[in-house]
Amino acid sequence: MNMFDLTGKVALVTGGAHSIGFALGVGLAKAGATVCFNCSSEGSRQRGLAAYAEAGVEVHGYVADVTDETAVQAMVKAIREEVGIIDILVNNAGVIKRVPMTEMSVEDFSKVIDVDLIAPFICSKAVIPGMLEKGHGKIINICSMMSELGRETVSAYAAAKGGLKMLTRNICSEFGGANIQCNGIGPGYIATQQTAPLRERQADGSRHPFDQFIISKTPAGRWGTTDDLVGPTVFLASSASDFVNGHVLYVDGGILAYIGKQP
């Protein structure tokens, strides 16, 4: 299935030193891509390089604040000079602040918008000229089920991810004719280190209440894993998806299709 082969492609994964971004970086590398990952500090870069080495893949790490356009442009320039023109961009870096809307400061709201929406705009803007030069490109935005649904305490995150869905569609609209495909992936609830406390068994052996809630809402009957996101990412990064554009692929175990069990 050579259409999924990424050999010769240069990929940049923002926030790629750990968690979902790390899994996607490893997956793209194993599919043949030369992977560059971005992170926010030198310490994170070193930990990321060590983790990738342990996973058996060779990558390139870069430090840049993805909300700083000057820093991002400098990073993309460095990647071009040291590795090559970027063929694949995965806008993965993100933050969430769980605060009731009436208690959330404008500063915190703006921070989430900056990282989760403005940064993908900055990064996409930085790589598109190279993609236009090469005559092709793939941009993958890590969206969310909150691109479709609201929930208590995540007003900023939902607003940003909803905006990211529409940015995805607009990049498709503007650059589809130049053979650039921009799509999104909307993860469901993914088992990561950050969500581990929510999945711990209680003293009586029962599930954590939030764990119960997620399992009850997921037709697959489980949390997703970071590996569940790798196949869809490779698909959207490869020539197999050359006529797929402006789409958000929800990898959620069926949550968005499901109203829940009858009481």
Point out the residues that are catalytic: 157
Do residues 156 and 219 touch, judged by C-beta distance below 8 A? Answer: no
Q: Tell me the CA distances in angstroms from 18 to 1, 47, 160, 246, one per residue in order.
A: 29, 9, 22, 27
Q: Tell me the CA distances in angstroms from 82 to 10, 101, 225, 242, one per residue in order.
A: 11, 44, 33, 27
**CB under 8 Å to 1, separation ≥6 — which residues?**
240
In 85-192, DSSP assigns E strands to 88-91, 137-142, 180-187
Phi, psi of 93 (to 5 degrees): -55, 135
CA distance 60 to 79: 9
CA distance 179 to 193: 37
Question: First-to-last CA distance in the chain?
Answer: 45
Do residues 21 and 90 touch, judged by C-beta distance below 8 A? Answer: yes
CA distance 65 to 67: 5
Do residues 224 and 191 touch, judged by C-beta distance below 8 A? Answer: yes
Phi, psi of 213 (to 5 degrees): -60, -45
